[in-house]
Amino acid sequence: MAVCIKDLIQNMNLVIGCPIGCSYCYARNNVRRFHMIDDFEKPEFFPNKLRLMEKERPQNFLLTGMSDLAGWRPEWRDQVFAKIRENPQHQFLFLSKRPDLLDFETDLENTWFGVTVTRKSELWRINTLKANIRAKHYHVTFEPLFDDPGEVDLSGIDWIVVGTMTGAQSKKIRTAPAWAYSLVDQAHVLGIPAFMKEDLVPIVGEAQMVQELPPALQRVLDGQAVWQK
C-alpha cells in the first residue's frame, strides 16, 4: 500500500510567503484563505517556531512547504542553520525553484537541498543547485510534470521524488506514467533512491509504485519506531 509522503516528512513552516509567483501555488491559496500573513509576496519569518526542532523524537522536516529558500533572507537562513546544527537527531529538507538566486556553502550533515523541476526547460535548476549551494546532500522533486523531462543528469543527486498535479487542476494536468517510470529508471541506474508520491497511484497503479527513501531519512523513521516502544 502506497504511503503518503506527509507521514514520512512533516512541514515546519518557519517562513511563510514567496515572491516567485507560480500559477499553481497551493500555499498562496491557503495563506490567503487563512490569512496567515498580510501579503504572500512578502515572506515573513517566525523564529518562535524554531523551538519545535528541540524535540528529541527524530523527525524528517520540510522547511519550505509555504516558501522558497530563494525568498529567505540570509540572516533567517543563518539562524535556522544554527538551530539545525544543534539538533542532529532530525533531517531537514529545503526546496527552491530559483537556485540561481542562491549562493552559499554549508557543511551541515543533516540538511538536504533540492530543486523542483516541472518541465524539460527547467532542468538547468539541477546543475545550478549543485553549483550555487555547496552542501552534503541534494534532492530533486519532479512535480507537477507538464512535459517529458527526457534524459536527466542526476549525477550527484541523492534522492528524487516524482509526483503529479493535485487539487482543482489534477484532471487537466497529469504526469504521464512513462515520464515517471523513465525518471525512476534513470535514478536507479545511478543507485539513487526514488519516491513516487501517493497521488500517482490512480495514474500508474498500486503495483507500479516505487517508494524509496535515502538511508538517512529511513533511519529517522526507524528511530521513531524505537521511540514509540
Residue ranges in contact with ligand SF4 by CB under 6 A: 18, 20-22, 25, 27-28, 67-68, 97
- A 10 A CB-CB count for 183 gives 26
| Residue with Cβ nearer ligand SF4 (18 or 200) | 18
Nearer to ligand SF4 by Cβ, of 21 and 88: the residue is 21
Considering the complex, state which of residue 60 and residue 118 has its C-beta at the smaller distance from ligand SF4: 118
26-29's contacts with Cβ under 8 Å and 24+ in sequence apart are 26/166, 26/167, 27/65, 27/66, 27/67
At closest approach, how far in Å is the CB of 43 from ligand SF4? 9
Instruction: Tell me the three state secondary structure of residue 46.
Output: coil
Q: What angle do CA 214, 215, 218 make, to 5 degrees?
A: 90
Judged by beta carbon, residue 97 or residue 174, the one nearer ligand SF4 is 97
CB of 26 to ligand SF4, least distance (A): 7
Q: How many residues does the chain have?
A: 229
Give the nearer residue to ligand SF4 in terms of CB position, either 112 or 192.
112
Q: Minimum CB separation from ligand SF4 for residue 41, in Å? A: 9
Q: Number of helices (H) and strands (E), helices first, in the chain?
A: 6, 11
SS3 64: coil
Using the minimum distance from each CB to ligand SF4, give the nearer residue, 27 or 210: 27
Q: How far is the CB of 22 from ligand SF4 (least distance, A)?
A: 3
DSSP 209: -
3-state secondary structure of 55: coil
**Closest distance to ligand SF4 from the beta carbon of 67 (Å):** 6
Give the integer Cα–Cα distance in Å for 179 and 54: 40
Q: C-beta of 227: minimal distance to ligand SF4 in Å?
A: 31
Q: Say if residues 150 and 144 touch (Cβ distance below 8 Å).
A: no
